[in-house]
Amino acid sequence: EGYVSATPRGDLIGKAGVAATDLRPAGVAVVEGERIDVVSEGDYIASGAAVVVVRAEAYRHVVRPQSKA
């Protein structure tokens, strides 16, 4: 299959975390104690905000703000 730069991380989908940096839209979040590179779905997310992983595409992890409900 050739070289694979990153294995899929489907285990992160649905997991909650915290934005470790401002997401503009790219940045870093901490999910289950692990710092990962993330991209927001498009909106700015401030550092310290609660986020949830909605998609994991190889090394690209997409997050959105966690609802307060």
Can you tell me the distance from the alpha carbon of 7 to that of 18, in angstroms, rounded to the nearest whole number?
22
Can you tell me the distance from the alpha carbon of 24 to that of 49, in angstroms, rounded to the nearest whole number?
13
24-57 burial, b for 16+ CB within 10 Å, e for fewer? eeebebebeeeebebbbeeeebeeebebbbeebe
Poorest-confidence range of 1-5, 6-10, 27-31? Answer: 1-5
- Report the predicted TM-score, pTM, of the whole model to 2 decimal places: 0.86
More confident residue, 63 or 8: 63
Residue 4: name the closest of 55, 60, 56, 58 by CA: 58
Using 50, 70 and 90 to split pLDDT, how confident is the model at 26?
very high
Instruction: Give residue-wise pLDDT tens across range 36-63.
Output: 999 999 889 999 999 999 999 878 899 9
pLDDT confidence of residue 44:
96
Sequence-separated (6 or more) residues with CB below 8 Å from residue 11: none
